[in-house]
Every structure is written in structure tokens, then in C-alpha cells.
Amino acid sequence: MTKTTTTAARAVDASKVYGEGDTAVHALRNISVEFAAGEFTAIMGPSGSGKSTLMHCLAGLDSLTSGQVFLGDTNLGMLNDKQLTELRRDNIGFVFQAFNLIPTLTARENILLPITIAGGKPESEWVENVIDILDIRDRLGHRPSEMSGGQQQRVAAARALASRPAVIFGDEPSGNLDSNSSAELLGFLRRAVDEFGQTMIMVTHEPSAAAYSDRIVFLSDGHIVDEMRDPTAEKVLDRLKTLEG
């Protein structure tokens, strides 16, 4: 089966500088990279390599100093705050490392939050399907404080999937979880990519997490230094050793 080669997101000549003058930090240096639709991409690299900055800029949470980022055909640099926010709401899903959920809302309310914020009606069949796949049906009436860390992250994943976004961004989604819960969550994300053609871009520093992806982009010091297809944990670990060494 040949994969479609549509691009879900891409960065063109992207640079990001924090601060000015002597104290300037170059988080991204003229990066150009494409993320194919329906693919699960991991972004890896040592701390300070710029991997989080790249993700934030791709997701419209941060802006570039120079260069462009596109989500589909939309140039994010051309959007104002409101348009950018609505783009995130309608076309992007997020799973952060922790504190993904609003503590005052129940799991169901959290899942539907982007849709209710948009004032839209959820596609109930799809949402129910997602809830079942993530195995959180019995938690729907609970608040985050009444759920385990793994359950909370699964609810966050369900929220990200609920509006069928163009891309889901994960920022160390399994970083706070034990290995069982971590495997469970990443397995679900993998299923979403395989079964529903969901595009997934995930920042991680764990080789075991990156092994769930189709492709890994390695960053170091603001540059893209390497790429890897069909990774395994061992291959990633080896590659990281050379990268850091």
C-alpha cells in the first residue's frame, strides 16, 4: 500500500531567536521540514535542541523570528491571534505532558471542551467511538482529581481526537506515566493513526515512546541533524548516543 504524500504541516526556513544581542538564544536555525498527513512523527533531541520550540511554532502556540510554518495550506504567520486560536481549536489537537484537563470539569466535559468552546455540536458517533477505544467510558462523569494519571492522559487524548483535527501535537504525552500506562496511551495514539488516518506529531526524549512512530526527526542545537524511518527503541537509543556524544 502506497502512502498518500499530502503534507499536513511544514516549516520553511524557520528560525526562532529568544532575546537579543549577546544573550540571544537561537532555538531554531533555518529549519525546513515536512510532516506527511496520516503519519506518526516523533521529534527528538537533547534538551535545548529546539524540539519543543519547533512543535510550538508548528502548532501556532509560538511565532517564528523568520521563515514560515504551514498547517495544510495555511501560513500561520499570516493569522492574527483570534484566527490562530480558532485554527488550534478546529484543526489541532493537543496532548501535553501534564495538567491537560480543567479540574472543575468532568471527563466528558473536558473531552468536548474544544467543541463546546466553538459552540458546535459534537459528532456523537465519532466521540462515542473514541471514548470506547480509549476505554474511559466509566470515567466520564468523574473530575480529573478522581482519575489516575493514565486515565487523565487518555481523556486528554480523547479530547484531542474528538474534533477530528488535521494534526494532533503531543508534548511528551507519556512523560509522567509509568511504563504500563505509557504503553497503553501510545498504543491508542498509534491506533488512531493506523485506523483513522490521524496525523500525529510528538515531541519526546524517550526512545521507547519514539519507537511507536513512523518517522523520527532528530534535532540538535536548532538544526535538523538526522531522520529515521520505522524506528525501534534500540536503533533510537544508538542514534541518540552518537548525537549526544
Partner 1 sequence: MLKASLRGIWDHKVRTLLLAVAVVAGVSFVSASFVFTDTIGDAFSGAFADAAESLDAAVTIDPDTIEDDFAFGQQRIDASLEQEIAAVEGVDGVFANLTAFVQIIEEDAAATAGFGGPPNFLFAWTGAPGSFQLVAGRAPEAGELLVDADTAADKGWSIGDTVVFSALGPNETATLVGIGDFEGGNPFGGAVFLFAPLEEVQRLADAEGQADTFDITFVDGADAEDTLAAIAAILPEGVRAIDAQTAAAEAAEELEQGLSFITIFLLIFAAVAVSVGIFVVYNAFRTVIGQRTRELALFRLLGATRRQVLTSVLVEAAVIGMVATVLGIPGGVVLALVLRLALSIFGGDLPAGNITLAPRTVLIAAAVGIFTTVLSALIPAIRASRVLPMAALSDVHARRIPTVRRWVITGVLLSAGLGVSYWALAADQALWIVGVGALLIMAGTYALGAAVSNIAMHGAGRAIDVIGKPFRRSGTTITRQMAIENARRAPRRTGATAGALMIGVSLVTAVAIIVFSIQTTTQKALEQAFPADAVVFPGFGPIQALPEGVEDAVRELPEVETAAAIKSAPARVNGQTDFLVGVNPEETDLIVVFDRIEGSFDDLVGATVAVQRSEAERVDLALGDDVEIFVTGDPVDHEIVAIFDLGSDVSDQASFYINKEQYATLDPTLPDIQMSVAFADGVGIDEGKAAVETALEDFGGAQIFTQEDLLGQIEAALLGVLVLIFGLLAMSILIALIGVVLILSLSVFERTREIGLVRAIGMIRSQVRSMVRWEAFLVAVLGAVLGMLAGLALGWFGSWAVFGEGFSYDVPWLPVIGGIFGAGIAGLIAAWWPAYRAANLNILEAIAYE
Cβ neighbours for 215, distance < 8 A, ≥ 6 positions apart:
39, 40, 41, 42, 227, 228, 229, 230, 231
Report DSSP state, residue 144: G
Nearer to partner 1, 104 or 242 (CB): 104
Give yes or no for residue 17 binding partner 1 (CB under 8 A): no
- Out of 19, 21, 119, 245, name the contact with partner 1 by CB under 8 A: 119
Instruction: Give CA separation, 197 vs 92, 165, 171, 200, in Å.
Output: 14, 11, 20, 9
Site for partner 1 in 164-183 (CB under 8 A): none
Query: Of these, 103, 125, 180, 229, which contacts partner 1 (CB under 8 A)?
Result: 103
Among 22, 23, 47, 82, binds partner 1 (CB under 8 A): 82
Q: Least distance from C-beta 17 to partner 1, angstroms?
A: 15
Q: Which of 34, 90, 123, 226 contacts partner 1 by CB under 8 A?
A: 90
List, as one string, the DSSP characters of 49-67: SSHHHHHHHHTTSS--SEE
Window of 13-21, 30-38, 83-91, 173-181 that interacts with partner 1 by CB under 8 A:
83-91
Name the minimum Å distance from CB 192 to partner 1: 17
The beta strand positions in the chain, using DSSP E, are 7-18, 25-36, 40-44, 66-71, 74-75, 92-95, 167-171, 199-203, 215-220, 223-229
DSSP state of 134: T
According to the binding rule CB under 8 A, does residue 61 interact with partner 1?
yes
CB 130 within 8 A of CB 160: no
Among 113, 133, 140, 183, binds partner 1 (CB under 8 A): 113
Of 200-219, binders to partner 1 (CB under 8 A) are none
Would you say 89 or 164 has its CB closer to partner 1? 89
Q: Based on the shown chain and the rule CB under 8 A, indicate whether residue 99 belongs to the binding site for partner 1.
A: yes
Instruction: Give the integer Cα–Cα distance in Å for 8 and 211.
Output: 21
Give whole-number Cα distances, 25 to 75, 88, 198, in Å. Answer: 25, 27, 34
d(CA 60, CA 222): 18
Looking at the DSSP bridge assignments, the partners of residue 217 are: 43, 227
Closest approach of partner 1 to the CB of residue 82, in Å: 5
Instruction: Choose which of 45, 50, 67, 114 interacts with partner 1 (CB under 8 A).
Output: 114
Contact between 168 and 161 under an 8 Å Cβ cutoff? The reply is yes
Cell of 212: 511507536
88 binds partner 1 (CB under 8 A): yes
Of the ranges 8-16, 23-31, 43-51, 86-94, which one interacts with partner 1 (CB under 8 A)?
Answer: 86-94
Q: Would you tell me which residues interact with partner 1 (CB under 8 A)?
A: 56, 59, 61-62, 81-82, 85-86, 88-90, 92-94, 96, 99-105, 109, 113-114, 116-120, 145, 159
